[in-house]
């Protein structure tokens, strides 16, 4: 899409969000007419809000493996009308983040802690200028959910197994999924005795969607 086509398609729509629309279209191709849960910031980051991500959506996923909530962020990529972003190879950081949380469907509580986790990860990325790619990992400096007795204390990152890359008007957007890792797995990663790829792919054999279960413990 060139600049003229971009202006014709999006420039007369007021406050259009071509990047956001591209992400929701990709999710819609999987979840159809399902209306996701959505948590948006009151004051967007572009106008000085404290949270770097403008929104987080969660879809109910029943794929025959394990019921879970499938979260997706809005904010790492270029979301809104921006002529300077047209035709770039990657849209801003070039990804949005996803997370699959084992949960009864419909969920029994609002998983607001996931939104806080996402915003904290985004603060790290926006402040450091570093981003996540497949088989990167990061410690959480404690349980990823502080008010729950879980041994999940870090995150590994993979390409989301069900969300293909989007070619948005602002460039490519990949979907990088976070997967929870235990204290023992984190110790192996820190010591270099197991690789992130080895740990993740070992889980994928029995958990192909890499759903994070807060009740998982090492055997």
> DSSP string of the chain?
--HHHHHHHHTTSSS--HHHHHHHHHHHHHHTT---EEEE-SS-GGGT-S-S-SEEEEEEE--SS--EEEEEEESSS--S--GGGTT-SEEEEEEEEEEEEE--SS-SS--HHHHHHHHHHHHHHHHH-----TT-EEE-SS-SSTTS---EEEEEEEE-TT-PPEEETTEEEEEEEEEEEEHHHHHHHHHTSS-HHHHHHHHHTT-TT--B-TT----
* Average pLDDT score, the chain: 92
pLDDT of residue 13: 64
Provide mean pLDDT across the span 11-36: 90
pLDDT of residue 51: 84
- State the maximum Cα–Cα separation within the chain, in Å, rounded to a whole number: 58
Q: Which of 2-6, 43-47, 173-177 has the lowest mean pLDDT?
A: 43-47
Provide mean pLDDT across the span 51-58: 94
**Per-residue confidence band for 64, with pLDDT thresholds at 50, 70 and 90:** low
Provide mean pLDDT across the span 70-96: 94
pLDDT of residue 30: 95
pLDDT of residue 97: 97
pLDDT, tens only, 146-171: 999 999 999 999 999 999 999 999 99
Cβ(111)–Cβ(103) below 8 Å? yes
């Amino acid at each position: 899409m060139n600049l003229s086509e971009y202006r014709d398609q999006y420039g007369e729509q007021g406050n259009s969000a071509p990047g956001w629309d591209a992400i929701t279209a990709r999710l819609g191709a999987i979840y159809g007419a399902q209306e996701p849960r959505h948590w948006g910031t009151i004051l967007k980051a572009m106008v000085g809000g404290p949270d770097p991500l403008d929104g987080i959506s969660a879809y109910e996923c029943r794929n025959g493996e394990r019921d879970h909530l499938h979260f997706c962020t809005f904010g790492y990529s270029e979301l809104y009308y921006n002529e300077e972003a047209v035709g770039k190879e990657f849209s801003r950081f070039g990804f949005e983040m996803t997370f699959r949380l084992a949960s009864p469907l419909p969920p029994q509580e609002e998983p607001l802690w996931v939104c806080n986790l996402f915003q904290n990860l985004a603060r790290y990325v926006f402040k450091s200028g570093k981003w996540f790619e497949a088989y990167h990992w990061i410690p959480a400096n404690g349980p990823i959910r502080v008010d729950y007795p879980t041994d999940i204390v870090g995150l590994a990152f993979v390409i989301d197994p069900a969300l293909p890359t989007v070619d948005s008007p602002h460039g490519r957007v990949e979907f990088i999924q976070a997967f929870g890792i235990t204290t023992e797995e984190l110790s192996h990663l820190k010591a270099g005795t197991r690789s992130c790829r080895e740990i993740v792919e070992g889980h994928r054999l029995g958990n192909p969607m890499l759903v994070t279960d807060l009740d998982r413990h090492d055997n």
